[in-house]
Amino acid sequence: MSGPSLDPSAARCNVAADDAPPFECRMEIGDLVAGAALFAFAGLFWVLGGEIDNGGFGVGAADFPRGIALLLGVASLILFANAVLRLARGDTQEMLCIGRPARVAMGMALLIAFPPAMSHIGYYPAMALFMAALLWVADCRSPLRIVAYVAGFLVFSKVVFEMILSIPLP
């Protein structure tokens, strides 16, 4: 008897045949999509960072998110340009394989839902729900581990940000 049979794409992606079919595309296409998406996020961070009150002259609160936005924008343009160059030269790299696309989509949905949840119910309840759900999506099924990871992170957040740095969390 042998182990579970793998279809060719599942074998390339190293996932069992009973998992959802993997998503595959050329690495260059993935880099183009990722580069464009990250550049859009950099633009959003730049605009939203500009709305933060700097409090006067010199380096202020808006400079950190804008600096991160600038670095993200440059890195995303480099990723995008390298993909364009590889496509123009005909250099084909390996295939990009996402073995569990539904779980990736669920993780993205959780990330999108976190900020509105945080503004409605507060940081600590939203983070507890978000982390527990994200751990479940990532195949952590032990309730004891989930509670330990979530509690540990929330205690870390409380101690570092609110007690040591005196930065209140929303």
Give the global pTM: 0.60
Q: What pLDDT does 42 receive? A: 92
Q: What pLDDT does 14 receive? A: 62
19-29 in b/e form (b: 16+ CB < 10 A) is eeebbeebbbe
Provide, rounded to the nearest whole percent, the portion of the chain with pLDDT above 90: 41
**Residue among 133, 127, 132 at smallest CA distance from 114:** 127
Q: What pLDDT does 76 receive? A: 96
- Residues of the chain under the 70 pLDDT cut: 1-21, 55-60, 93
Residue 72: CB partners within 8 Å, gap ≥ 6?
38, 39, 41, 42, 45
Domain spans, the chain: 20-99, 100-170
Measured between alpha carbons, how far is 43 from 66 in angstroms, rounded to an integer? 9
Tokens read off for 75: 């890195």
